[in-house]
Structure 1
Amino acid sequence: MKQFDSSQLGQFTGTSKYYKISRRHLLTDGTRYLAEQAACFWLMDAIASHLSEIDTAEWFVVIKTTVKRTSAVMVYEDGNGGELARQAIPYTDLPLHHIDLYACWDSEHWVIMLPSEY
């Protein structure tokens, strides 16, 4: 696997295009770049699966992923520290120790984005 440079994520502000990963889930330029460069489309799939179970009244969700050695925990919050869901990932080679992503419901899709794209 090639080396992932997380400092490149800061270049993404807004998005010029959306990328459909399922019928109701979209990635932005930044999250697509992250998925491709860090080889973590599995992360986007995991997020999409949990978002499908979260009531869309929670139109904004923060996904906090923390990696410890070769495992991870993903916590889905309401933006005010309230936990909506949690998932343990028994094995990962995600090249980041921690990453926060946002998801917003646009009345038709969940849009998964980097915080700098919000």
Structure 2
Amino acid sequence: MTPLSPSELAQFTGSTEWFRHSFNRAVIYTEGVRFLAARGGAFWLIDAIATHIGSRVFNEAAAKDDRIALMHFWKLAVNPDQSARLTAVPDSGEPPFIDQLVMFTDFPLSEVDVWAQGNGEGYTLMLPSEY
């Protein structure tokens, strides 16, 4: 796996090409998210987010909070023991409506944020710098 740094991710400021997720066709992602997955060995992260989007738990949360359909925020936080937690919140400082324990990861950063914006047909995953 090639090293990955937050400064590399910050260089993505928009996208001219989008990639459709293979099994959740309602999810597309930007060049920055693709770079994150490729360089960080984390296509599994895109899969995890795409699996949650449209799930029963996700849909119940979205039915209670209209903001989720417009935009919500994912965070992967890696622990020193190489476990991690993947969470989704409707806004900063609010409790997560998705909270998944990842038993092991060799993801190279201690944390990363991926934002999901409703696009009329589903969701676009992007890095914060791409918003």
SS of structure 1 residue aligned to 2:21: strand
Give the drift of 1:47. Answer: 0.6
Q: Secondary structure at the match of 2:8?
A: helix
Q: CA deviation at 1:83?
A: 1.8
Misfit runs of 4+, over 3 Å: none
Whether the 8 Å CA contact 2:76–2:86 is kept in 1: the answer is yes
Q: Which residue of 2 aligns with 1:84?
A: 97
Residue 4 of structure 1 deviates from its aligned partner by: 2.2
Q: Using the alignment, how far apart are the partners of 1:83 and 1:5 within structure 2?
A: 26
Any idea what SS the aligned residue of 1:83 has?
coil
CA distance in 1, matches of 2:109, 2:44: 14
Equivalent position amino acid for 1:26 in 2: I
Task: Provide Cα deviations, 1:48-70, integer angstroms capped at 9, x if missing partner.
Answer: 11112223542211001100121
SS of the counterpart of 1:76?
Answer: strand
Does 1:74 pair with 2:86? Answer: yes
Structure 2 regions of 5+ residues with no counterpart? none
**Equivalent residue for 2:116, pick from 97, 100, 103:** 103
Letter in 1 for 2:91: G
Q: Give aligned pairs, total.
A: 118
Q: Check whether the contact 2:5–2:109 (CA below 8 A) recurs between aligned residues.
A: no
Q: 37, 41, 44: which one pairs with 1:42?
A: 44
Structure 1 spans left out of the alignment, 5+ residues: none
Which of 62, 66, 78 is matched with 2:73 structurally? 62
1:84 CA drift (Å): 1.2
When the two structures are superposed, what TM-score results if normalisation uses the length of structure 2?
0.83
Identity %: 34
Determine which structure has the larger helix proportion and give its number: 2
Q: Which has the higher strand share?
A: 1
Aligned to 1:115: 128
